[in-house]
Structure 1
Amino acid sequence: MKVIICTRDLQFGGAGTHIRLLLKEFDRLDDIDRILIIGPNKSERFSSKTQFELLQPIGRNFIVRQPHFAIACKKRIEKILKKEKYDLIHTHHSFLAEDFKIPMITTMHTLNYFMMARNSKTTPAIKFANLFHRIYEVFDKQTIMNSSKVIFVSQNSMLQAAQRYATYYQRFIHIPNFIDVKFFYPFDETKKTLLREKYKLSLNSKYFLFVGRLEPLKGILSLIRAFEEFNKKYDSVELLFVGDGILRRYVSGFKFVKCLGKISYDRMNEIYNLADYFVLPSLYENFPIAVLEAMSCELPVIATDVGDVREIINDNRMIIASPQAEDIIDKLEMLMSFSGQEIDKIRKANRKRVEEQYSCERNIPRVINIYKAIV
């Protein structure tokens, strides 16, 4: 089987992590003879059957980047197919709205329709962005029309799409995001102590970890306000931020914050094992991979009820009612009230859930089965 994979993102985090894990597994499978990746950069070294066609998107924002990549990718695929036969195209870009006369699978990591829905505020910038999301939704629909199968990483998104694009519902399938549970695992206490010394963190503090972009949409401002009050009530509690963004300088100014900045993927298992808890107060998410990574490392996770978060965590106690400071405080205090025995129970349940539902071993074969069914 010969496959073309199209993606605008091969960076670790979100869709990039999802695609890299797919490629790693595909590279070793006998079912796939050749993989051609069209994308902005090369991933880690693969065997000779995996090749890259570099294609850099132009522009800083989605308004320019999305259509440019789609047009350039279309031309590149047409050129490739004139020279060589491929069995299918798997795109992780919802703008590839062409019929290439071979089967196409699309993985929807989000849709322009959902991006409009999340932008409830009416600032001029958001109004302008929503105008383009509305225009670009036409490409989403066209891509769905031309796809043999449409994979949604989010069950919630698939159900919404089923209402909006009911004609094509039979093509939809839910395969969640997944992680490498052998890479993300809990360290023993001795190793955790050595880690804190390595990163110069207090051995006596309780650390609440956030991983992601440091921007308002992630609920960072409410989290800081909540922690200001929480910090007055509890001694030796600190926020640990990993990521970059427009709020990095702001959060770094608080005494109860440790900001580690961007961390390479190969060190992220260490980062999760530095912390005692994980918090995600986002205003919007689709299917946050960071929650899976934290749970796989046996961190208790509290998060807002966005995207598929409630389904992932599977414990209503851990759902933050809203991304408001007072609701975040309620859950922070709840975690502090749990006995050691209850925390251990949550840790073990989190690890088990990820192993059983969200591992590469469980979900990547499902993608391969779709390939086999349509070729």
Structure 2
Amino acid sequence: MEEKKLTIGLFNDSFPPFMDGVANTVYNYARCLNKLNTNPVVFTPAVPGYIDREDFEVIRYFSLPMPRRSTYRLGISRLDFSLPKKIKDIHFDILHAHSPFSAGRLALRIAKKKRVPLIATFHSKFYDDFYQETHSRLISKAMLSVVINFFNQCDLVWAVNNATAETLRSYGFKKKIEVAYNGSDFIPPDENEKERLRRIVNEKYKIEPDIPLLLFVGQHIWQKNVRTIIEALDIIKKKNIRFKMIFVGKGDAEEDMRKMVQNLNLVEDVIFAGFMSDREMLKAIYSRSSLFLFPSIYDNAPIVLQEAAACECPGVLVEGSNASEGVKDGYNGFLINNSKESLAEKVILAIKNKELLKEVGRNARNTIFKPWEKVLAEIKERYIEIIKNWR
């Protein structure tokens, strides 16, 4: 008998053309589940003028521009009067929310109406986001209680690693949390391919082949500790050590970052590459880079770390941060204290020891990188088990 094709609802407040870490996760869930003989349906806010051309179904709902977050849309599903008709004839087996906000609330309503299980994955340090916007502990805690209320209403709660589960518990969540790790869509390049990719980057950005390339990929926001990176670069340059640094991404702090680079006389050493939708070019930059600098204490389980690992580019992370889970200093990455001095010292140590860099890069690929296809094959089996127990 042919296996029943599962219909899986995936819900998130960001999705292409906006590509943050959670949007990347949901996109790859849908992409891989579609290849695994299931029927994924993504629910996400509408983006004016954008047309979805995916191999799986994407249902957009009414949205407005989000104040102070120009790259995001504020979804308001209750004001989309065509949405109920689109949902009515879909026979869901399971729903999976990746946001506790508008998309997650929509998932809750559908789960109750369709009487199907709802999983919610905790991805982000919401308290930090709230405090960054409000500068009020009282308001941030009140907003956090709304988030916890959402997770309390879900049937199962997952986190992207053990450290992130602890963050959710610290917010006051008392129920069981399971871990479901992220993956990467990169196919690790062999040495010949890496050499070709390195040449592409050298030519595009006019980098001499023997100069160490340092890399950051992510939103250009202060929460990701990009100030520490720039200050560390200043220390490194003052020690007469040659390097190039590429920042890939966009964000609200970009203009101030550029000014900071200019004020520290780092303009000749730093490249702002902007948002990069070309995955092959991004893979080329990872492959050319000596180190991936990611001193963020804001992130939980960054996909960019897996992307770097796939290309044997070891990460430099803050010891004890959620992002550093699974990283052993000098084995599959490098760990630092949360300071510009510690970051500069570790970068200098690593780029002066090319054999160590190669070994640590290989270990990162073998221990940190996980292909999304393998991750989602396991997730599909977990979905099936949840549905059986639910029924």
- Return the offset for 1:189: 2.9
Contact 1:111 1:140 in 2 (8 A): no
Match of 1:299 among 294, 313, 319: 313
CA 1:27–1:361: 2 relative to 1, 3 Å? closer
Kindly tell me: are residues 66 and 93 of structure 1, through their superposed partners in 2, closer, same or farther at Cα, counting changes over 3 Å? farther
Corresponding residue for residue 373 of structure 2: 361
Alignment partner, residue 164 of structure 2: 157
Cα shift readout 1:185-223 (whole Å, capped 9, x = no counterpart): 764335423431233222232111111222322222222
Give the letter for the 1:230 counterpart.
I
Secondary structure at the residue paired with 1:260? strand
**Greater mean deviation of Cα atoms: 272-281 or 37-46:** 37-46
Pick closer, same or farther for the CA change 1:146–1:78 going to 2, 3 Å: farther
Cα distance change, pair 189–88 in 1 and its aligned pair in 2 (3 A): closer
Unmatched runs of 5 consecutive residues or more in structure 2: 1-5
Q: In structure 1, how many angstroms separate the alpha carbons of the residues matched to 2:77 and 2:167?
A: 27
Q: CA deviation at 1:286?
A: 1.4
Query: In the alignment, which residue of structure 1 is the partner of 2:274?
Result: 261
Residues 203 and 135 (structure 1), Cα distance of their counterparts in 2 relative to 1, 3 Å cut: same
Alpha-carbon distance in 1 for matches of 2:319, 2:81? 41
Q: 1:353 to 1:265 in 2, by over 3 A?
A: farther
56 and 162 in structure 1: CA distance in 2 versus 1, 3 angstrom threshold: same
Match 1:319 to one of 335, 344, 357: 335
SS class of match (2:95): strand
User: Which position in structure 2 is the counterpart of 1:273?
Assistant: 287
Per the alignment, residue 357 of structure 2 pairs with 343
> How many aligned residue pairs are there?
358
Partner residue in 2 for 1:198: 204
The amino acid across from 2:221 in the alignment is E
Q: Aligned residue for 2:259?
A: 250
Match of 2:44 in 1: 39
| 2:201 aligned counterpart, secondary structure | helix
The whole-number CA distance in structure 2 between the counterparts of 1:67 and 1:133 is 21
Checking the alignment, whether the CA contact within 8 Å between 1:185 and 1:298 is kept in structure 2 is no
Partner of residue 347, structure 2? 332
Q: 1:347 to 1:360 in 2, by over 3 A?
A: same
Q: What is the match of residue 148 of structure 1?
A: 155
CA gap 1:16/1:43 in 2 versus in 1, 3 angstroms: farther
Query: Among the aligned pairs, what percent are the same residue?
Result: 18
Relative to structure 1, the CA distance from residue 166 to residue 193 in structure 2 (aligned partners, 3 Å threshold; closer, same or farther) is closer
Taking structure 1 as the reference length, the TM-score comes to 0.83
CA distance in 2, matches of 1:152, 1:55: 26
Q: Supply the RMSD in Å over aligned alpha carbons.
A: 3.1
Contact 2:95/2:116, CA 8 A, preserved across alignment: yes
Q: Aligned partners of 1:318 and 1:43: how far apart in 2? A: 41
Task: Tell me the residue number matched to 1:89.
Answer: 95
Q: Runs of 5+ in structure 1 lacking a partner?
A: none
TM superposition shift of 1:250: 1.9
